């Protein structure tokens, strides 16, 4: 049988060394007393959970957070041996999976706490407390009732955590309120490790770092808090191939809805990327792309598979069919794209990661390291120094 082999028209290029460098940047920022856990949920924000986790572990990360038990089991099956914690996934139902694969549940409610009591001290767990996000987590009263000083010695969590609602707004009073509520629980549960800040919380100051920060966005080059100068390296580049070029006469419209009309006779390139690849529809007529160092505006709407670009001012030899246009790079990052599209950079990144062919630069591991899931029985895992 014949098989069709062709190179991708849309490539999201992920620089794994930049992710490792961002881990180092975060580690230096919080200092040696504070551990840095990496959040690799949602396929590492679209960048590939296995490649990203392996790179982070190689760079010294010893705790990964995922959203679901499936993600944790996938990491274990690919020989990721460091501690893995699951933000929320029914420990009361799936407890035996956690224990047999040394996976740490984040306990979010009283039902799960009962299951912890049943499982006994062999099961390491983290405790999530609700301090103002109104999502998951035990209320402050429930925590007091259960862990009162002098109440009989309960199996305690190794980490207590909570999540900030407004950390990207440095001056917001909600931050102070949540930190003070969290500190009360932290003091009550001592000795325990505390974790409050995610990426944006890094810049709220030392009093928000406690013992452990949980960062996703910052590792992936997203500058959540808009810190200037930006200490994080961009991680992703995005390019798409030009499929065709056509002349558009002055006064003619381009694309669905005729949202762009040429005010001069123009040379318009059609590139093979659209909202199917995760390019936000809302960046129509609002961004530019780079072609061999030149800047060219995206004109008209984003179609499912195509975009249109005004290349009139760029030498024709640089932007014929087959040439690539760059949509994300050093000087136009995921933060810029998201701002133009009026969505969050995390949303932009997860959508592009899911929709594009991904290529990896600078892996610190051989490609076979990820390709052979091992038999469950052969797994050697630990909950590291996050166990008790
Ligand atoms: C997603 C998530 C994080 C990481 O957030 P970033 O802002 O991407 O660093 C941390 N903690 C919890 C509970 C999360 O859900």
DSSP letter for each residue of 9-44: SEEEEEEHHHHHHHHHHHHHHH-TTSEEEEE-HHHH
Measured in angstroms, how far is the CA atom of residue 160 from the centroid of ligand 1?
A: 15
The reply to whether 193 falls in a domain is: yes
**Three-point CA angle 388, 34, 185, nearest 5°:** 65
Same domain, residue pair 70 and 94: yes
Q: What is the reported pTM?
A: 0.94
pLDDT at 3 (0 to 100):
80
**Of the candidates 130, 176, 161, the residue with the CA atom closest to the CA atom of residue 39:** 161
Q: Is 88 in the pocket of ligand 1 (CB under 6 A)?
A: no
| 387 within domain boundaries | no
Count of domains for the chain: 2
Sheet containing strand 212-215, strands side by side: 193-195, 159-161, 126-128, 103-107, 83-86, 63-66, 35-39, 212-215
Return the pLDDT at 388. 43
Ligand 1 centre from 327 Cα, in Å? Answer: 26
CATH code where residue 75 lies: 3.20.20.10
For the Cβ of 87 lying below 6 angstroms from any atom of ligand 1, the answer is yes
Are 267 and 187 in the same domain?
no
**CB-ligand 1 contact for 164 (6 Å cutoff):** no
Which two tokens mark 288? 């530019």
Which of 26, 39, 204 has the most ligand 1 atoms within 8 A of CB, as the residue to mutate?
39
Q: How far apart, in Å, are the Cα atoms of 356 and each of 14, 157, 242, 247?
A: 11, 40, 16, 29
Ligand 1 atom closest to Cα of residue 161: 13
Task: Report, in angstroms and rounded to the nearest whole number, the Rg of the chain calculated over CA atoms.
Answer: 24
Looking at the chain, list the stretches that DSSP marks H as alpha helix, in order from N- to C-terminal side: 16-30, 41-45, 49-58, 69-77, 91-100, 110-119, 140-147, 173-189, 334-341, 345-355, 368-371
Q: Is the CB of 215 under 6 A from ligand 1?
A: yes
Q: State which of 173, 195, 220 marks the end of a domain.
A: 220
Give the number of the atom of ligand 1 that is nearest the alpha carbon of residue 220.
Answer: 8
Are residue 240 and residue 216 in the same domain, yes or no? Answer: no
Q: Which residue has the tokens 């990964």?
A: 64
- CA torsion, points 122, 191, 162, 77, in degrees to nearest 10? -30
> Ligand 1 center to residue 200 CA distance, Å?
9
Question: What distance lies between CA 119 and its chain's CA centroid?
Answer: 32
Does residue 316 fall inside a structural domain? Answer: yes
Q: Whose CA is nearest to atom 7 of ligand 1?
A: 199
Domain end residue (candidates: 220, 252, 274)? 220
304 is in an annotated binding site: yes
User: Using CA positions, which residue lies closest to atom 13 of ligand 1?
Assistant: 163
131 domain-assigned: yes
Which DSSP string do the residues of 84-97 spell out, in sequence order?
Answer: EEESSS-HHHHHHH
Residue 62 Cα to ligand 1 midpoint, Å, equals 17
Taking the centre of ligand 1 as the mean of its atom positions, its distance from the CA of residue 94, in whole angstroms, is: 23
Residue 47, token pair as written in the block: 């960048």
Cα(298)–Cα(308) distance, rounded to whole angstroms?
6
CA-to-CA distance for 217 and 62, rounded, in angstroms? 18
Closest CA to 82 of 52, 53, 60, 62: 62
Pocket flag, ligand 1, residue 106 (CB < 6 Å): no
Task: Note whether 139 and 185 are same-domain residues.
Answer: yes
Distance CA 381, CA 133 (A): 33
Cβ of 39 closer than 6 Å to ligand 1, yes or no, is yes
- pLDDT score for 375: 52
**Number of the ligand 1 atom closest to the C-alpha atom of 218:** 9
Phi, psi (deg, nearest 5) at residue 104:
-100, 120
**Shared-domain flag, residues 244 and 143:** no
CA of 38 to the centre of ligand 1 (A): 9
Kindly state if the Cβ of 214 falls inside 6 Å of ligand 1: yes
Ligand 1 atom nearest residue 45's Cα: 8
Q: Closest Cα to atom 12, ligand 1: which residue? A: 163
b/e map of 164-202 (b: 16 or more CB within 10 Å)? Answer: bbbbbeeeeeebeebbebbeebbeebeebbbbbbbbbbb
Low-confidence ranges of the chain (pLDDT < 50): 377-379, 388
Q: Candidates 198, 223, 227, 353: which one to mutate for ligand 1, based on the most atoms within 8 Å of Cβ?
A: 198
The Cα 121–Cα 116 span in angstroms is 8
Identify the CATH number of the domain in which residue 284 sits. 2.40.37.10
Q: Which residues contact 265 (CB under 8 A, 6 or more apart)?
A: 247, 248, 249, 250, 312
Structural domain range at position 41 = 16-220
Do 309 and 297 touch, CB atoms closer than 8 A?
yes
Q: Is 255 in the pocket of ligand 1 (CB under 6 A)?
A: no
121 and 254 part of one domain: no
Same domain for 37 and 172?
yes
Mark whether 215 and 267 lie in a shared domain.
no
Flag whether 375 is in a domain: no
Instruction: Give the pLDDT confidence score for residue 377 in this predicted structure.
Output: 45
In a domain, 243, yes or no: yes
- CA separation for the pair 139, 350 (Å, rounded): 31
Same domain, 202 and 312: no
Write down the pLDDT at residue 367.
82
Nearest to 97 by CA among 75, 69, 66: 69
Are residues 33 and 27 in contact, defined by beta-carbon separation less than 8 angstroms? no
How far is it, in rounded angstroms, from Cα 384 to Cα 22? 23
The three-class DSSP label of residue 334 is: helix
Residue 373 confidence (pLDDT)? 62
**Residue 51 located in a structural domain:** yes
Domain co-membership, 74 together with 161: yes
Residues 20 and 106 in one domain: yes
C-alpha 39 – ligand 1 centre gap (Å): 6
Residues 150 and 299 in one domain: no
Q: List residues with catalytic annotation.
A: 41, 256
Cβ–ligand 1 contact at 198 (below 6 Å): yes
């Amino acid at each position: 049988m014949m098989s069709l082999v062709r190179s991708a028209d849309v490539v999201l290029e992920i620089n794994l060394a930049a992710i490792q460098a961002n881990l180092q940047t975060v580690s230096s920022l919080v200092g040696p007393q504070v551990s840095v856990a990496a959040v690799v949920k949602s396929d590492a924000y679209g960048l590939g959970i296995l490649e990203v986790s392996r790179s982070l572990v190689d760079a010294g990360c010893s705790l990964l957070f995922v959203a679901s038990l499936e993600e944790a089991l996938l990491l274990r099956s690919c020989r990721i041996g460091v501690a893995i914690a699951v933000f929320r996934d029914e420990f009361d139902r799936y407890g035996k999976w956690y224990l047999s694969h040394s996976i740490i549940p984040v306990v979010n409610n009283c039902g799960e706490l009962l299951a912890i009591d049943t499982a006994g001290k062999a099961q390491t767990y983290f405790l999530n407390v609700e301090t103002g996000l109104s999502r998951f987590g035990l209320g402050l009263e429930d925590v007091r009732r259960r862990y009162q000083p002098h109440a009989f010695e309960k199996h305690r969590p190794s980490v207590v955590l909570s999540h900030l609602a407004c950390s990207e707004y440095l001056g917001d009073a909600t931050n102070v309120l949540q930190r003070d509520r969290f500190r009360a629980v932290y003091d009550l549960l001592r000795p325990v490790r505390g974790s409050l800040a995610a990426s944006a919380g890094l810049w709220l100051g030392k009093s928000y770092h406690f013992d452990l920060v949980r960062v996703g966005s910052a590792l992936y080059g997203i500058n959540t808090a808009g810190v200037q100068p930006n200490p994080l390296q961009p991680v992703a580049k995005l390019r798409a191939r030009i499929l065709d070029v056509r002349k558009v006469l002055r006064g003619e419209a381009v694309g669905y809805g005729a949202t762009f009309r040429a005010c001069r006779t123009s040379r318009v390139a059609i590139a093979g990327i659209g909202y199917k690849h995760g390019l936000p529809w809302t960046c129509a007529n609002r961004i530019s792309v780079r072609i061999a160092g030149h800047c060219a505006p995206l004109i008209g709407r984003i179609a499912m598979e195509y975009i249109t670009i005004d290349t009139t001012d760029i030498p024709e030899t640089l932007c014929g069919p087959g040439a690539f246009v760059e949509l994300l790079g050093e000087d136009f990052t995921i933060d810029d794209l998201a701002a133009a599209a009026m969505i969050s950079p995390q949303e932009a990144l997860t959508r592009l990661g899911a929709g594009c062919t991904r290529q990896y630069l600078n892996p610190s591991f051989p490609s076979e390291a990820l390709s052979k899931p091992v038999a469950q029985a052969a797994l050697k895992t630990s909950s590291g120094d996050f166990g008790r």
